[in-house]
């Protein structure tokens, strides 16, 4: 008990001595004011404040809380450039709310594989990305009373770019956060980056496949050789050429029957006597050529496809006459 009384006495004498040289007010409720005679907090400091500590880096000495900066709002900064951290890797700040953020070296998000579990690839993102709509917008008007910093009031007429959080929430709900039920929705824009990357890759694969198919079909039409790939939606111009060629040659490709089929199906054809060579080629949905059958008959003729030569699924088949693509149809093989 005596020790406690001694400590209280020493603290009291310290405050009384400090009060002699500075404006320090200690209220009966325990609130202490420095430069503030009516503190409403346990410690209230009026004016620019300097916090000093042990020097670790060259020229690093103090942290300053400045109330007179040009923005008209308080700012905290070190006494030397680049010499202050906020939080540590093992003692992190939970939530940081800010109006805007400027960085010099970059913004980094921990992405070490050792920090991840249940890792899964992102697939089929193009259709989801297409559901989002990028927009430009102006922020809603914020009260321009004199208490707001100039850098906030000066951004109200500057166009910004982004997405509507409610739209993102419908497609990628994990990328939209809300602090509580009454707060505004926020979007994790960095989280969209891997999704966009996979969508670009998906789109590029489709483009590459179509380019290959189109080149092979054009080469076939020029040289009369067999095609290796085909997709009936490749090119509108090509389809026009197909129709014109069919009218010129008189060749006709009919729908296979039965369709769907299991054991076998027959493809009926009309091949004019003037045709030099004709073939029916079969392709999977990726445009890969699986087989080609030579058509030796002329007039009304046919070719037969056997189910044991293919696996169950959807296929395209095309009639090629003298190197010209005449028409395509779709057939279904069941298990």
Mean pLDDT per block of 10 residues along the chain (335 residues) reads 48 50 77 85 80 60 76 78 85 85 85 91 88 90 60 71 94 92 91 92 81 63 45 46 51 91 92 89 87 91 91 90 87 86
- Domain total in the chain: 2
Rg (CA), the chain: 38
Residues 236 and 297 in one domain: yes
* Bridge partners, residue 329, by sequence: 317
Taken in order 335, 206, 217, 244, is the CA torsion positive or negative?
A: positive
In the DSSP assignment, the letter for residue 169 is H
pLDDT at 149: 65
**134 within a domain of the structure (yes/no):** yes
Q: Which residue has the tokens 């297409």?
A: 130
pLDDT at 256: 93
Rounded CA separation 1/9 (Å):
12
**181 within a domain of the structure (yes/no):** yes
pLDDT at 91: 92
Residue 154: closest CA among 71, 219, 210 = 71
Alpha-helix residue ranges (DSSP H) falling in the chain: 2-21, 126-129, 150-153, 165-171, 192-223, 236-249
**4 within a domain of the structure (yes/no):** no
pLDDT at 37: 84
pLDDT at 254: 93
CATH number at residue 258: 2.60.40.1930
DSSP for 215-271, written as a single string: HHHHHHHHH-PPPS---TTS-HHHHHHHHHHHHHH--EEPPPBSSSBSSEEEEEEEE
CB-count exposure of residue 289 (10 Å: 0-12, 13-18, 19+)? middle
Q: Could you tell me the residue range of the domain that residue 169 belongs to?
A: 113-187
pLDDT at 166: 95
pLDDT at 242: 47
**264 within a domain of the structure (yes/no):** yes
Q: Between the CA atoms of 167, 170, 173 and 177, what dihedral angle is there, to the nearest 10 degrees?
A: 40
* Bridge partners, residue 78, by sequence: 63
**304 within a domain of the structure (yes/no):** yes
pLDDT at 300: 92
**150 within a domain of the structure (yes/no):** yes
Residues 137 and 235 in one domain: no
DSSP for 260-303, written as a single string: SBSSEEEEEEEE-TT-S-EEEEEE-TT--EEEEEE----EEEEE
**74 within a domain of the structure (yes/no):** no
Residues 238 and 146 in one domain: no
In the DSSP assignment, the letter for residue 157 is T
Count the neighbouring beta carbons within 10 Å of the beta carbon of residue 217.
25
């Amino acid at each position: 008990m005596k020790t406690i009384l001694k400590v209280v006495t020493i603290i009291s004498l310290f405050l009384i001595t400090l009060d002699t040289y500075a404006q320090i007010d200690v209220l009966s409720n325990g609130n202490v004011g420095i430069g503030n005679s009516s503190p409403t907090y346990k410690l209230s400091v009026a004016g620019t404040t300097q916090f000093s500590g042990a020097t670790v880096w060259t020229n690093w000495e103090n942290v300053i809380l400045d109330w007179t900066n040009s923005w008209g709002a308080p700012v905290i900064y070190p006494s030397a450039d680049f010499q202050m951290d906020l939080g540590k890797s093992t003692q992190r700040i939970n939530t940081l709310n800010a109006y805007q953020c400027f960085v010099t070296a970059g913004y980094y998000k921990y992405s070490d594989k050792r920090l991840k579990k249940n890792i899964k690839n992102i697939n089929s993102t193009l259709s989801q990305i297409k559901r989002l709509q990028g927009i430009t917008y102006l922020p809603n008007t914020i009260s321009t009373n004199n208490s707001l910093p100039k850098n906030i009031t000066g951004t109200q007429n500057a166009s910004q770019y982004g997405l509507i959080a409610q739209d993102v929430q419908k497609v990628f709900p994990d990328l939209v956060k809300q602090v509580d039920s009454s707060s505004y929705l926020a979007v994790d824009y960095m989280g969209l980056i891997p999704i966009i990357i996979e969508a670009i890759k998906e789109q590029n694969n489709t483009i590459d496949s179509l380019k290959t198919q189109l080149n092979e079909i054009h080469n076939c039409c020029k040289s009369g050789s067999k095609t290796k790939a085909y997709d009936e939606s490749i090119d509108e111009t090509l389809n026009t050429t197909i129709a014109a060629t069919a009218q010129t040659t008189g060749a006709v490709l009919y729908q296979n029957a039965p369709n769907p089929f299991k054991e076998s199906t027959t493809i009926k054809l009309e091949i004019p006597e003037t045709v030099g060579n004709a073939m029916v080629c079969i392709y999977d949905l990726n445009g890969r050529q699986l087989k080609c059958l030579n058509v030796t008959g002329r007039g009304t003729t046919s070719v037969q496809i056997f189910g044991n030569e293919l696996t169950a699924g959807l296929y395209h088949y095309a009639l090629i006459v003298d190197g010209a693509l005449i028409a395509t149809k779709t057939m279904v093989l069941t298990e």
